[in-house]
Amino acid sequence: MNAMKWSSKNISFFNVKLSLFAYVLITLFALLSFSSTFAAEEKLGNINNTVNQQLGIKSPATDLWRAVRQRKFDGSEGLSSTTQANSLGANELINVKGQEWRNFRMGQLVPYAAYLLVGVLLALVLFRLIRGKIKIKAGRSGKKILRFSPFQRFVHWSVAILFVVLGITGTLLTFGKSGLIPIIGSSAFGTIAGFGKLLHDYLGPVFGIMLLIMLFTFIKGNFANLTDMKWFLKGGGMFGNHASAGRYNGGEKAWFWLAILAGAVIVVSGVILDFPYFNQTRDDLQLSHLVHAVAGIALLAASFGHIFMGTVAMEGAYEAMKTGYCDENWAKEHHDLWYADLQKQGTTASSDADT
């Protein structure tokens, strides 16, 4: 009986921690292996160029295609090209922008993204070591207050699960080539990446729909006010000074709007990449890829803080979204203005903790 009780109370919490742990592993693998892999490729290219120059090796074919690549066939140099293909960009014999994009992605976008994600994780670890777990100062009251309805929890967890799957698959597609191929090999990575891309492409639009539902479900109470400014000035009460808050504090509101706005950018740019049937050019797709990646990495980094605060950092926070109820003393300490409003409305009728 005790084992069954433990499992029912902790399985969801374990899943959240497991997802965060997966984020950490994938990101660390990428960070450790990326620098050496890309540096090796760049060094090999430099060596080949240097050797050819020193030996005076000339390749007519190479020189020809280099000349073609460097010329413009848009009419500006009196040159033009034609083709029977009707797709955009088909009359461009060699598109150098693809290589430029690859160099930018592998040389700047991917490593800086890895540094950001690992930096945020290390900052959270440091915060936990310095601050410790945020306890309910008055202890648990044994009484609970309804905080989230079943529908609100359904919407939240639907968005959360989709976000975790998209976050893991997106991280895999961004860092996996450099981080996982040296470990599991090209064949295994190809299988995993192919399945991950399939999930990513099909679940992306579903995430967009659920994000819109979340907007209308939680928008009430999430508009900023003067109380939120005071909350931020006091550091959210993290280091001793009490910071008053309504139903949602300043940090929760900031996360809500970041998730909605950045999520919208991710969905729109993802749809452009998913459905290239609207005369998008290569430049359009590369720009969408850049916007999608930057917004995705930024939201993923911010989500680490949200998951951290809602699970292991603060006592009583996770159970509110898990069960829909929060402890009365937790409400008084972290959302005192909301609790006061409930008292005025006469809706703070508490139930036993086992309810």
- Please check whether residue 339 is in contact with residue 332, taking contact to mean a CB–CB distance below 8 angstroms: yes
Query: What's the pLDDT score for residue 347?
Result: 75
Query: Using alpha carbons only, what angle is made at residue 294 by residues 293 and 299, rounded to the nearest 5 degrees?
Result: 100
Strand order in the sheet with 143-146: 325-327, 143-146, 351-352
- Please check whether residue 172 is in contact with residue 192, taking contact to mean a CB–CB distance below 8 angstroms: yes
Residue 347 lies in a domain: yes
pLDDT in tens, 283-336: 888 899 999 999 999 999 999 999 999 999 999 999 999 999 999 999 999 999
Report the distance separating Cα 159 and Cα 209, nearest Å. 9
Residue 346 lies in a domain: yes
Residue 90 lies in a domain: no
Query: What's the pLDDT score for residue 186?
Result: 87
Residue 128 lies in a domain: yes
Other Cβ atoms closer than 10 A to 151:
10
Query: What's the pLDDT score for residue 131?
Result: 87
Give Cα separations from 61 to 45, 70, 205 (angstroms): 18, 14, 46
Residue 268 lies in a domain: yes
Residue 47 lies in a domain: no
What CATH number is associated with residue 169? 1.20.950.20
Residue 7 lies in a domain: no
Q: How many domains does the chain have?
A: 1
- Please check whether residue 114 is in contact with residue 30, taking contact to mean a CB–CB distance below 8 angstroms: yes
- Tell me which residues of the chain have a pLDDT lower than 50: 1-9, 11-14, 16, 35-36, 38-45, 47, 51, 351-355
Domain containing 247: what range? 19-42+96-352
DSSP state for residue 138 in the 8-state scheme: T
Query: What's the pLDDT score for residue 9?
Result: 46
Residue 79 lies in a domain: no
What kind and span of H or E run contains 352?
A: strand 351-352
Look up the pTM and report it: 0.77
- Please check whether residue 112 is in contact with residue 44, taking contact to mean a CB–CB distance below 8 angstroms: no
Residues in CB range of 113: below 8 A, 6 or more apart: 174, 175, 293, 297
Angle, helices 2-55 vs 110-131, to 10°: value is: 140
